[in-house]
């Protein structure tokens, strides 16, 4: 026992390690539940649909019938997982102590915890402890923390429990409603129902006393105050608002950190809500139960009430044998008057298929209790708790495996039906015919367009258009010669200290102005030319029927880029890489003055570049323009020289663009058309990519042809995806259980 603390730590660590897995299982079960719900709706729709084949209707009806049962198993699985999760998530190992009034439960609790009557009241009459309390080992700072019910929680768990047990009308939704009036007492058939109703009346009458405590934050109190919060003696009502009192005290049996003793009220009590909470405690909170029974000295037996308690424990956690976790303490009276009865009970078989451990002790003898009960339970836990945990885990795993198998089996017939692809066969044949026709038309369309542009290249078709753009740009440059007026030019002369510097600066301005004019106008015109070709490509690409894949508002869109962008969004980059790349290429194609022409005409601008390296014989513009006499009076001559150089350069640039580059836009545009054609219809594998793209949207593209297939196809798709999800979750559950 010296390693008790280490043992507790080890068990807790192992339990914590199971948490993520259990949480994942819980989520999978929830998702499975949702999918089953979805399939139920689908099955209801399909099984009553006239256009569904009879075989399918039959199979889906059978599936719908099976779903109800499976759903209840899923819910059960969720509850089981939640219980185990709660059990494994605890940070203590808990021993529950239960017993009817006057059996010695409080005495045992006192003996184990070392607490006295001030904290754990004992009574000779009615049940003394009204609220659940948990006693934890702590060597310093003895105190208690009181947790209260939230108001709505109280209404739901306590008030409703009475109403439901008594089948009372007008279930109150709020505490105010409950407070306003209590339904009159009906004519109960069972005698105990009268007693329960009386308890409800007490609950109603005492509301003013405990109501202020509902929904309060946890409260720290001294040990002396505990009794006021958990006891129902002397007409105390506050305990009704208490969900649990956690009492921290040093146990007399050494360091048992990580161990808690839970006082479980409610066993055999009339008060409603308590027995439900007891079951929950058994399932989630308690690792061992100590049930105290004081045999009567006038003769006793295992009565029906005892058997009922054992059955409740068994039912709460059916996978465990009672001997695994239930200890029945037969309380031997101080005077030994019931010793004979204790012996008799110990030897009498229970006939319940499973036997709890029976311990006979005199509860008033604290040391005897500690040795004969507490240490006995601890020893048992040390030897068996890990095995018990494993047992619970494996039982859940088996349950989940079975559940997964049933889920898979349930959907299999419908899955088989759709695997035969009866709905898709005719559909695909039709698609094949239409697709071949589409592909041929698209190819012809793009081939024609490519040929059209090939002819244009041959006939220098667009040269005139670009030539006009060049003339426009050069005319604009020439019209706006940025040579400053004479006075300004004189100013430059004075500022810069001579004509050479002034001319140098002006030449840079002139060159920059010319480049700007050219870029501005040519880029606009080139952009228009490219846009026009894009429009033509899109007109051929998006001609019916493919255009129907675009959103309605984009079908008549004037801007081809928007159409292209929308079409690209329909493409899967991984699934249709060539198509995606082709559309991206077409979308991003650009042709600008700066990127294609400027570097080629730049040399012609050298006369406007004072820094240019010149050949022998070539005029240096600064020397040619700056007058020999460096005086301001020569301003006209300088202006004339600048203008003259500028105009000559404009001419040279114009000539070079006309003579050497006039056909370049045409060639570039032809290459764009051809490349687009190649990528969209000529590239390897692209045909398959078109097929993958069009098949899912065939009903939109060829509505007349696929209307009759559309419903079946949509149904098939929905069923397949629903069943696939169920199979997927079933697989996950099976894996988690392995």
| Interacting residues with another protein (CB under 8 A) | 615-619, 624, 640-641, 644, 647-648, 650-651, 655, 658-659
Q: Measured between alpha carbons, how far is 188 from 141 in angstroms, rounded to an integer?
A: 51
Assess contact for 605 and 513: CB atoms under 8 A. Answer: no
Q: Which is nearer to another protein, 324 or 662 (CB)?
A: 662
Identity of the residue, 350 or 457, whose beta carbon is nearer to another protein in the bound complex: 457
Beta strands at 133-137 and 219-221: parallel, antiparallel or unpaired: unpaired
Nearer to another protein, 346 or 640 (CB): 640
CB of 618 to another protein, least distance (A): 5
Alpha helices in 206-250 (DSSP H): 207-210, 223-230
Say if residues 61 and 44 touch (Cβ distance below 8 Å).
no
Q: What would the DSSP string read from start to end of 268-282? A: T-SSTTHHHHHHHHH
Q: Which is nearer to another protein, 31 or 472 (CB)?
A: 472
We find the least distance from the C-beta atom of residue 664 to another protein, in angstroms, to be 16
Closest CB to another protein among residues 27, 652 = 652
Nearest residue (CB) to another protein, 454 versus 614: 614
Asked whether the beta carbons of 329 and 361 are under 8 A apart, the reply is: yes
Quote the least distance from Cβ 605 to another protein, whole Å.
16
Q: How far is the CB of 512 from another protein (least distance, A)?
A: 21
For another protein, the closer of residues 513 and 535 by Cβ is 513
Residue 187 Cα distances to 159, 166, 168, 720, angstroms: 20, 10, 11, 56
Least distance between another protein and beta carbon 604 (Å): 12
Q: Which is nearer to another protein, 220 or 640 (CB)?
A: 640
Could you write out the DSSP letters of every residue in 626-671?
A: S-SS-SGGGHHHHHHHHHHHHHHHHHHHHHHHHHHHTTHHHHHHHH
CB of 491 to another protein, least distance (A): 24
User: Would you say 17 or 624 has its CB closer to another protein?
Assistant: 624
Q: 416 vs 618, which CB is nearer to another protein?
A: 618
* 461 vs 594: CA distance, rounded Å: 23
C-alpha of 520 from chain center: 51
The least CB distance from residue 469 to another protein, in Å, is 17
Strand order in the sheet with 93-99: 219-221, 143-148, 242-249, 133-137, 259-264, 93-99, 288-293, 326-331, 357-361
For another protein, the closer CB: 526 or 604: 604
Cα 53–Cα 58–Cα 63 angle in degrees, nearest 5:
125
Q: How many CB atoms lie within 10 A of CB 552?
A: 7
3-state secondary structure of 576: coil
Helix (H, G, I), strand (E, B) or coil at 660: helix
Report in angstroms how near the CB of residue 644 gets to another protein at its nearest. 6
R_g of the chain, CA atoms, integer Å: 46
Give the helix, strand, coil percentages of the chain, each rounded to 5. Answer: 65, 5, 25
- CA dist., res. 578 & res. 675, Å (int): 12
Residues 245 and 145: beta-carbon distance below 8 Å: yes
Q: What is the nearest approach in angstroms of another protein to the Cβ of residue 627?
A: 8
| Identity of the residue, 162 or 466, whose beta carbon is nearer to another protein in the bound complex | 466
Instruction: Let me know how long the chain is.
Output: 738
**Residue 358 DSSP code:** E
Q: CA-CA distances (angstroms) from residue 220 to 117, 147, 216, 234?
A: 20, 9, 12, 23
- Considering the complex, what minimum distance in angstroms separates the CB of residue 530 from another protein? 26
Spatial neighbors of 522 by CB under 8 A, at least 6 apart, are 469, 470, 473, 592, 593, 597
Q: Are 732 and 28 in contact (CB under 8 A)?
A: yes
For the CB of residue 486, give the shortest distance to another protein in the complex, in Å.
17
**Distance of closest approach, residue 452 Cβ to another protein, in angstroms:** 25
| Nearer Cβ to another protein (50/659) | 659
Tokens of 350: 């229970």
The minimum distance between CB 645 and another protein, in angstroms, equals: 10
Helix (H, G, I), strand (E, B) or coil at 329: strand
């Amino acid at each position: 026992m010296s390693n008790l603390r280490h043992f507790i730590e080890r068990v807790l660590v192992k339990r914590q390690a199971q948490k993520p897995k259990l949480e994942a299982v819980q989520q999978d079960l929830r998702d499975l539940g949702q999918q089953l719900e979805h399939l139920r709706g689908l099955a209801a729709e399909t099984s009553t649909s006239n256009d569904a084949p009879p075989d399918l209707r039959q199979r889906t009806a059978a599936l719908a019938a099976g779903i109800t049962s499976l759903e209840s198993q899923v819910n059960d699985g969720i509850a089981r997982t939640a219980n185990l999760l709660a059990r494994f998530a605890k940070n203590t190992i808990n021993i529950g102590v239960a017993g009817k009034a006057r059996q010695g439960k409080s005495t045992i609790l006192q003996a184990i915890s070392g607490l006295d009557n001030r904290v754990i009241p004992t009574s000779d009459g009615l049940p003394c402890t009204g609220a659940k309390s948990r006693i934890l080992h702590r060597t310093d700072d003895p105190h208690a923390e009181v947790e209260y019910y939230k108001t709505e929680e109280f209404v739901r768990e306590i008030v409703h429990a009475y109403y439901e047990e008594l089948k009372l009308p007008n279930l109150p939704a709020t505490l105010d409603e409950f407070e306003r009036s209590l339904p009159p007492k009906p004519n109960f058939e069972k005698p105990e129902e009268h007693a329960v109703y009386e308890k409800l009346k007490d609950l109603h009458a005492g509301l003013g006393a405990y109501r202020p405590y509902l929904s309060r934050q946890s409260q720290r109190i001294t040990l002396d105050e505990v009794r006021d919060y958990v006891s129902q003696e002397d007409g105390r009502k506050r305990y009704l608002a208490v969900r649990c009192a956690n009492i921290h005290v040093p146990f007399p049996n050494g360091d048992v950190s990580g161990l808690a003793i839970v006082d479980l009220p409610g066993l055999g009590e009339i008060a409603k809500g308590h027995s439900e909470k007891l079951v929950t405690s058994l399932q989630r909170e308690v690792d061992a139960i100590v049930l105290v029974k004081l045999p009567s000295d006038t003769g006793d037996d295992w009565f029906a009430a005892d058997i009922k308690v054992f059955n409740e424990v068994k039912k709460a956690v059916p996978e465990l044998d009672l001997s695994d976790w239930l200890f029945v303490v037969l309380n031997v009276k101080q005077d030994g008057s019931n010793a004979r009865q204790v012996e008799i009970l110990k030897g009498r078989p229970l006939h319940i298929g499973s036997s709890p451990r029976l311990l006979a002790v005199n509860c008033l003898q604290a040391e005897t209790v500690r040795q004969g009960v507490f240490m006995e339970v601890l020893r048992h836990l040390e030897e068996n708790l890990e095995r018990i945990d494993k047992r619970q885990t494996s039982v859940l795993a088996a349950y989940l495996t079975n559940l997964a198998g049933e889920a898979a089996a349930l959907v299999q017939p419908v899955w088989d039906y759709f695997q035969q692809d009866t709905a898709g066969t005719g559909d695909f044949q039709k698609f094949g015919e239409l697709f071949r026709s589409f592909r041929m038309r698209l190819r012809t369309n793009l081939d024609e367009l490519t040929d059209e542009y090939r002819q244009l290249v041959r006939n220098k078709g667009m040269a005139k258009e670009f030539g006009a753009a060049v003339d426009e740009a050069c005319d604009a440059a020439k019209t706006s010669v940025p040579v400053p007026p004479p006075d300004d030019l004189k100013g430059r002369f004075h500022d810069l200290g001579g004509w050479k510097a002034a001319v140098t600066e002006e030449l840079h301005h002139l060159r920059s102005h010319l480049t700007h004019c050219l870029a501005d106008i040519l880029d606009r015109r080139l952009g228009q030319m490219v846009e026009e070709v894009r429009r033509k490509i899109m007109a051929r690409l998006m001609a019916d029927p493919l255009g129907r894949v675009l959103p309605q508002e984009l079908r008549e869109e004037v801007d081809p880029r928007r159409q292209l962008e929308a079409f690209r969004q329909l493409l899967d980059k991984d699934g249709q890489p060539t198509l995606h790349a082709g559309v991206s290429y077409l979308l991003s194609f650009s042709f600008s003055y700066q990127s294609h022409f400027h570097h080629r005409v730049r040399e012609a601008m050298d006369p406007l570049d004072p820094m240019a390296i010149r050949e022998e014989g070539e005029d240096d513009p600064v020397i040619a323009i700056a007058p020999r006499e460096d005086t301001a009076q020569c301003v006209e001559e300088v202006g004339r020289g600048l203008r003259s150089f500028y105009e000559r350069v404009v001419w040279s640039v114009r000539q070079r663009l006309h003579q050497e580059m006039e056909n370049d836009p045409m060639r570039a545009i032809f290459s764009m058309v051809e490349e687009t054609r190649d990528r969209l219809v000529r590239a390897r594998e692209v045909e398959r990519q078109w097929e993958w793209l069009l098949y899912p949207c065939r009903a939109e593209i060829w509505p007349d042809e696929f209307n009759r297939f559309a419903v079946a196809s949509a149904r098939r798709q929905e069923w397949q995806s629903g069943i696939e999800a169920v199979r997927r979750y079933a697989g996950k559950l099976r894996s988690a259980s392995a």
